[in-house]
Amino acid sequence: PMTDPDELLAGLDREQREVARALHGPVCVLAGAGTGKTRAITHRIAYGAATGAFQPNQVLAVTFTARAAGEMRGRLRGLGAAAVQARTFHSAALRQLQYFWPQTVGGPAPRILESKIPLVAEAASACRIKTDRAALRDLASEIEWCKSTQTAPEDYDSAVAKAQRVPPREAAEVSRVYAAYEEHKRDRGFIDFEDVLLLTIGVLDSRPDVADQVRAQYRHFVVDEYQDVNPLQQRLLEQWLGQRDSLCVVGDASQTIYSFTGATPEYLLGFPDRYKDATVIRLVRDYRSTPQVVGVANALLAAIPRDTPAGRRAARARLELVAQRHAGPPVGYTEYPDEAAEAEGVAESIKKLIDRGARPAEIAVLFRINAQSEVYEQALADRGVPYVVRGVERFFDRPEVRQAVLLLRGAARSGGTSDSAAAGGAAGAGEETDDGLAATVRAVLSGSGWSPKAPAGSGRAREQWESLAALAALAEEYAVGHPRAGLADFVRELEERAAVQHAPVVDGVTLASLHSAKGLEWDAVHLVGLTEGLLPITYAETDEQIEEERRLLYVGVTRARETLQLSWALARAPGGRPSRRPSRFLDSLREAKAAMTEAGAGGVVRRGSGRGPQEQGKSKRTGPVRCRVCGKALIEAVDRKLGRCADCPSDLDQALFQRLRDWRLEQAAEQS
């Protein structure tokens, strides 16, 4: 692992280095998308550990999704700081709660409610309120908002008014269902996600001895995506800190996209006021995206109207991005007659990218609501393009994966051969053959009806198949690294991975909602369904809600490293009435497009030496994966990932050089 502090700093620019060096007291990093916030804080933690300023196991790094936490753990491991805890607020709280439960609350351990919907349904019917699925979802999300903002049922009415929130149901109804829900939940011995935080806060509040223990364990706190912290999470953070101030927060107010759950950028923006001695650092260089993509992102925020309080607030928070990368392909804008045509068109363009050598895992289709996913699943499946819905979060919790792990464990116990019933009679492939382990795993998986050939069509069956295919691929990968390993070793590996939700990389095109795409990046991003009613979504009514929709689009746009394709469809069904209008946000983007073209002609857009858009396209077409600089075929995985060979440093701009270096260091760390 990398423990040389200077090397850690070498991977950062001047401002990022300032972040890494600010190891004492409160630190606040305000910066736009792709400027290296997440990178700066992971390096800061590793630097703190390497210089002895931090004890790695006394650092708690908090993010908002399991996937982001997993990625951070991976990065920290690569930087030699594997002992640092990187968790979501929920998982950190839950661990503490479970640990202290016997000595504080006592009694049986709490059962966590995975979804509020069933109990909300019960509560609604107890209140004699008729509901359908949409209503249940609305009620559940209002209850989540109430709990995250610490609003009691009886205060709901005044709280929504104060927050200028448009209640989706009559306020009195929400209050009643909320109160009934709490009662039902208590009676059944469940706690929900917000209760995990509430109870942890309660324990820390009321038991100074417990609070002391937690504070002795964690002395340094780092929060990524701090713009999306809600009041409950903020309180927990303050409890963890106590009177201390070793807190580093990073965020981008223009990426606040969870205010419907009570999140607010006020904590981020108000940080320098709350901590007068805070070190405040701004990053502006965008290392992720091409100038074309950055141009669109900047234009989107520049177009925020200033004639409303919501707009003025949003405009104040905006940070201009300065592109660092070489020019890439132009941003695409495509109008389709209907949704099916849009899905076909997008799938076709994705297929072309893959045919030219792009890795499916480096491509994403992003949409506003999950229901939009299905046509894309179908269109990709029709073309034989592998895909993953909503990334790989909670991979090991999928029923088919659980069942497969059970099967594998059973087969491992019985020596991998005799339990032929469970293994579908095919586990006898044994572990002596050439690709022993992988063949055994495939054989066992076939016992649950899996076959190496993908099923036709899309939907759940296809998703299940993809999960099992990912397990089979993982077995292959594992067998390469561990040539002597047997099934039992592989099962142990799976169990370890499951414990930390370390999902295998499923090599497929990602289909994800804009909300779940936060913090992630892909080479090619297709933003689909850009019509009025979808983005902004129909129920976005207030100025504030419209601004949040704009931020969602901003998050989507800034996920793209190179290729960005924006599209929309004028009708829902083929031959249907063209009842949809292109999203209002597109107007400002198209103006930007015109401006970009002019800027390009005027030489403002930085162009690489011979690496303009045409060259890139050409080199991709001539072979599976070739160096973008010299055109040589790439064999090393490191080079393929980068798209150029290590012998071409002259043309590597700083950003790419660092990436290569990071990646090598990560590899080296993993091997050692």
Q: How far is the CB of 517 from Mg ion (least distance, A)?
A: 12
Check whether 481 is labelled as a binding-site residue: no
Which helix (H) or strand (E) segment holds residue 465: the answer is: helix 460-481
Is there binding between residue 256 and Mg ion (CB under 5 A)? no
Alpha-carbon distance values, 641 to 153, 348, 571, 608, 646 (Å): 52, 23, 39, 19, 11
Distance CA(580)–CA(531), nearest Å, equals: 6
Q: Smaller CB distance to ligand ATP: residue 176 or 285? A: 285
Count of alpha carbons within 13 angstroms of residue 456, beta-carbon side: 0
Check whether 261 is labelled as a binding-site residue: no
Residue 655 binding result from ligand ATP, Mg ion, none, given CB thresholds of 5 to 8 Å by partner type: ligand ATP
Closest-CB residue for ligand ATP?
A: 36
Using alpha carbons only, give the angle 478, 482, 486 rounded to the nearest 5 degrees. 85
Of 37-45, 124-132, 231-239, 480-488, the window that binds Mg ion (rule: CB under 5 A) is 37-45
Check whether 357 is labelled as a binding-site residue: no
Distance CA(110)–CA(112), nearest Å, equals: 6
Is there binding between residue 32 and Mg ion (CB under 5 A)? no
Give the tokens for residue 644: 């150029």
Is there binding between residue 37 and ligand ATP (CB under 6 A)? yes
Is there binding between residue 605 and ligand ATP (CB under 6 A)? no
Is there binding between residue 655 and ligand ATP (CB under 6 A)? yes
Of 36-44, 111-119, 344-352, 662-670, the window that binds Mg ion (rule: CB under 5 A) is 36-44
Residues 6 or more apart in contact with residue 182 via CB below 8 angstroms: 153
Is there binding between residue 252 and ligand ATP (CB under 6 A)? yes
Which residues from 325-354 bind Mg ion, rule CB under 5 A? none
Is there binding between residue 63 and Mg ion (CB under 5 A)? no
Neighbouring-strand partners of residue 533: 537
Q: How far is the CB of 304 from Mg ion (least distance, A)?
A: 22
The single-letter code of the amino acid at 589 is L
273-312 footprint of ligand ATP as x/- string (CB under 6 A)? --------------xx------------------------
Q: Smaller CB distance to ligand ATP: residue 87 or 285? A: 285
Is there binding between residue 658 and ligand ATP (CB under 6 A)? yes
Is there binding between residue 641 and ligand ATP (CB under 6 A)? no
Is there binding between residue 16 and ligand ATP (CB under 6 A)? yes
Helix 89-104 with 231-241: angle, nearest 10 deg? 60
Check whether 35 is labelled as a binding-site residue: yes
Neighbouring-strand partners of residue 567: 334
Distance CA(39)–CA(215), nearest Å, equals: 26
Q: How many CB atoms lie within 10 A of CB 398?
A: 18
Check whether 576 is labelled as a binding-site residue: no
Long-range contacts from 238-245, C-beta under 8 angstroms, 24+ separation: 239/200, 239/201, 239/204, 239/205, 239/211, 240/60, 240/204, 240/214, 240/215, 241/215, 242/211, 242/215, 244/215, 244/219, 245/25, 245/26, 245/275
Q: How far is the CB of 616 from Mg ion (least distance, A)?
A: 26
Is there binding between residue 80 and ligand ATP (CB under 6 A)? no
Q: Smaller CB distance to Mg ion: residue 37 or 165? A: 37
Q: Smaller CB distance to ligand ATP: residue 228 or 543? A: 228
Q: How far is the CB of 120 from ligand ATP (least distance, A)?
A: 32
Q: Which of 310, 351, 353, 360 is nearest to 329 (CA)?
A: 353
Is there binding between residue 34 and ligand ATP (CB under 6 A)? yes
Residues 6 or more apart in contact with residue 273 via CB below 8 angstroms: none
Distance CA(559)–CA(525), nearest Å, equals: 7
Question: What does the binding site for ligand ATP look like in residue numbers (CB under 6 A)?
Answer: 12-13, 16, 31, 33-39, 252, 255, 287-288, 519, 521, 558, 654-655, 658-659
Query: What are the binding residues for ATP?
Result: 31-38
Question: What does the binding site for Mg ion look like in residue numbers (CB under 5 A)?
Answer: 37-38, 519
Query: What are the binding residues?
Result: 31-38
